Structure 1
Amino acid sequence: MRSIGEMARDSGLGVSALRFYDRAGVLVPAWVDPVSGYRWYAPEQLDEARLLARLRRAGMPLADIRLVLAGWSSADADLVRGLLQAHLRRLELGLTDARSEFSTLRALLDHRENPMTAAPHADTVRLSVSAPELAAALDSVRFATGGDPELPMLGGILFDVEGDVLDLVATDRYRLAVARTGTTGHGGPRGQVIVPVPLVDAMRALLSGDESVVLTVDGDRVTLEAGDRQTAGQYLAYDFPDYRRLVQLPSGRRALVDVPAFREALESGPVRASGVREQDGASYELSVLRVADDGTVTVCEDGDDDPDDVTVNREFLLEALTAGDRNRLILEFGAPTAPVAVRRTDDETSFSLLMPVRMDD
């Protein structure tokens, strides 16, 4: 017999998913301990669980999955093939409809007052900023830049200046990072440009001194001058997502963590056995976090589930801890489906958000 944790590890289904499929009558364990309620599965149920995981990834409805599993166990190949073919036809029709809808949406976007392609700046923007502060701000957000060619506006860092404040923002849809620094010499209305990653890295290489540097936006070009050295290039002519709306999160449970100790717990602690998934073509592992009443954050063992646990991409969280650049950081948790915020204790204007990972899909 396999425990529910072993079944999750070997099948690709999460523990919470196995519990759901038990309640739905799709994959019922062979035996349930009458005292503890713990579920146990027969060896032959592993193939059914793996089949169920594949069918769910293919988007098959539960009603059809029940019939497929029934046909699978009775070796009724004709029934199984018929159900698979019918689902494939539904997917193909749905894709055709989705393409039509997206074509319409693109046409609507093209006719909006604010098109996706931004107009070049008519006026020159020039401001000064401390080199160490700009370097720290870039280091705080660089990890969250995107690389999806279908979303070119995420392939850089947004420089958002208003008055004497410069916000740097990066996001790849799964995480978002914001850092703030002061400026002099601008003091004008809000302006935004997206600096592509190669130019960002070239800028960062110039920021080795303690002096102020000068950032200039002229036409479609961005220039950073550090003494007698400079780097320049074109900014990305796209609109950036409205990050100010994205960061308006309700307050949640806050936990002060010792970063070195918490990093060690993440790196050496358990990962979700079913958590090797595909995200933009790359596999990643999951860590499940729990906040105790005293504010302690622990990395949960596989199978040790609680409805308030939050599951995150472990590598993303480790990168956010590094970018936080402090020995103590605040982790803020909302609902299990809400972003996790990583904040500094001394400057909450610089922070990052990580989207959680649902374990029952």
Structure 2
Amino acid sequence: MPPHELMPIGVFARRSGLTSSALRFYDDCGLLAPAEVDPDSGYRYYSAEQMPRATVLRRLREIGMPLTAVEAVLDAAPGDAARLIDEHVARLHEDAVAARRKAVVIKSSLSDVPGLPIAALKGPVLADAVEQVLTATARDPRMPVLGGLCVEAAPEAITLTATDRYWLSTRTLVPAESAAATPAAATWTATTPAATTWAGTVDGDELRTAAAEARRSPLVRVEATPYGIWLRMAAGREDQYCRLLGEEYPDHRSMLASLPAVTTRVTIAKDLLLRALEGHSGEHIALRIDEHGMYTLTTGDERAGHRIPATVTGQALGISFAQTTLYPAVSTAVGPDVLLDLRGADQPATIRSADRGDLTTLAMPIKPAPAT
């Protein structure tokens, strides 16, 4: 290659974003050899065709990829390279999650405050409740607390709540036994009562992972620390630790307390309603409720609707929801029949089991789509 078409190492370094010392190191490693080396001076020269490889190399190192993996990516076909990058990122995420959880445990161990017994719960019941309620969480960098689950404990019950501000899911669990009734172990002793009241917001991802282990434990004892909660499992199972989120949780209790009276109540078969929602192609769905039942509408036009048998009491009503709000609220309801308590086209709707279970969801309606 003619010398005027080559770049000295300093020029190539500036254009590629790599330092000259890094380029010499990558040459020695065999990852990026120069196009030519002056036999007298030993000076390295690079070609423009080498720029894409240098750029990818720099970016891979920026995400912490080790040299052996970098070499594999650079020499792989595009599909295999993408897979290797995904695997590396997944390992980084797993390592970060593990480090964060260990850090929280370490911080907790540095505190002189002993763990606070909250309650003992049946493991499978706790796991079900966590998975049901966490469907209402959201990943919002502006409000990380929306990715958490609010835990409120009292001697008679523990309430789990999650919200993404458009819908809210809550479930109340009755303790399986008091702390005084549990076998003496760690901070749980015959003379240590459960906490009178306690509240905190637990990291949703960590709690979701912990729920898988809790499902296999007949009994789980919940214990609070300044930075997280311990889920103490039955003998033979590994205890799980979930960190607390420091941000203040949205004031959902005031919202629940200020809900207006129900004006329309609908009792409907869960499977029938889910099938109607699954068969609906739009992002939004309009419902018209009258004494004859419920109609699902695509554009507000009755001719485009689908009638679902339902028992209706109260006022006739038209109301619209986003599919991403209504469908998960209905699908997580417990039991064969669903009860919809409606308060108007612009008020939160309550969705719960018609006959059993205490899982309750509030879904915000939207403005109906204009007819076409």
Q: TM-score, normalised by structure 2?
A: 0.57
Quick check: 1:233 aligned with 2:233?
no
**Structure 2 counterpart of 1:124:** 115
Question: Which digits, 9 at most, give the CA deviation of each residue in 1:12-56, with x for residues without a partner?
Answer: xxxxxxxxxxxxxxxxxxxxxxxxxxxxxxxxxxxxxxxxxxxxx
Q: Comparing both chains, which one has the higher relative contact order based on Cα–Cα distances under 8 Å and sequence gaps of 6 or more? A: 1
TM superposition shift of 1:123 = 6.1
Of 349, 352, 365, 1:356 maps to 365
- Structure 1 residue ranges without an equivalent (≥5): 1-119, 272-284
What is the distance in 2 between the residues matched to 1:210 and 1:203? 11
SS class of match (2:206): helix
**Structure 1 counterpart of 2:206:** 199
Quick check: 1:258 aligned with 2:250?
no
TM superposition shift of 1:309 = 1.3
Q: TM-score, normalised by structure 1?
A: 0.58
Whether the aligned pair in 1 keeps the contact of 2:217 and 2:233 (CA below 8 Å) is no
Mapping of residues 198-217 of structure 1, within 5 Å: 198-209=205-216, 211-217=218-224
Cα 1:234–1:270 change in 2 (3 A) is closer
Whether the aligned pair in 1 keeps the contact of 2:300 and 2:369 (CA below 8 Å) is no
Cα 1:135–1:286 change in 2 (3 A) is same
Quick check: 1:289 aligned with 2:287?
yes
What letter corresponds to residue 339 of structure 2 in structure 1?
A: I
TM superposition shift of 1:262 = 0.9
Quick check: 1:242 aligned with 2:251?
yes
SS class of match (2:135): helix
**Structure 1 counterpart of 2:143:** 151
What is the distance in 2 between the residues matched to 1:197 and 1:188? 22
Quick check: 1:324 aligned with 2:333?
yes
What is the distance in 1 between the residues matched to 2:324 and 2:270? 15
Whether the aligned pair in 2 keeps the contact of 1:257 and 1:329 (CA below 8 Å) is yes
SS class of match (1:178): strand
Of 272, 275, 279, 1:268 maps to 279
Larger radius of gyration: 2
Of 160, 177, 180, 2:172 maps to 180
What is the distance in 1 between the residues matched to 2:112 and 2:363? 32
Cα 1:211–1:335 change in 2 (3 A) is same
TM superposition shift of 1:330 = 0.3
Question: Which digits, 9 at most, give the CA deviation of each residue in 1:45-95, with x for residues without a partner?
Answer: xxxxxxxxxxxxxxxxxxxxxxxxxxxxxxxxxxxxxxxxxxxxxxxxxxx
What is the distance in 2 between the residues matched to 1:174 and 1:194? 19
Question: Which digits, 9 at most, give the CA deviation of each residue in 1:128-150, with x for residues without a partner?
Answer: 11112212211221110121111
Of 152, 170, 183, 2:162 maps to 170
TM superposition shift of 1:122 = 5.7
TM superposition shift of 1:209 = 3.0
Whether the aligned pair in 2 keeps the contact of 1:123 and 1:218 (CA below 8 Å) is yes
Whether the aligned pair in 2 keeps the contact of 1:329 and 1:345 (CA below 8 Å) is yes
Q: Percent identity between the aligned chains?
A: 21
- Structure 2 residue ranges without an equivalent (≥5): 1-110, 180-192, 303-315
Whether the aligned pair in 1 keeps the contact of 2:288 and 2:319 (CA below 8 Å) is yes
**Structure 1 counterpart of 2:349:** 340
What letter corresponds to residue 318 of structure 2 in structure 1?
A: D
Quick check: 1:221 aligned with 2:213?
no
TM superposition shift of 1:270 = 5.8
Cα 1:206–1:142 change in 2 (3 A) is same
Whether the aligned pair in 2 keeps the contact of 1:141 and 1:179 (CA below 8 Å) is yes
Whether the aligned pair in 2 keeps the contact of 1:121 and 1:218 (CA below 8 Å) is no
TM superposition shift of 1:258 = 0.6
What is the distance in 2 between the residues matched to 1:181 and 1:195? 16
**Cα RMSD after superposing both structures:** 2.5
TM superposition shift of 1:198 = 1.6
Question: Which digits, 9 at most, give the CA deviation of each residue in 1:184-206, with x for residues without a partner?
Answer: 32554321111112211112111
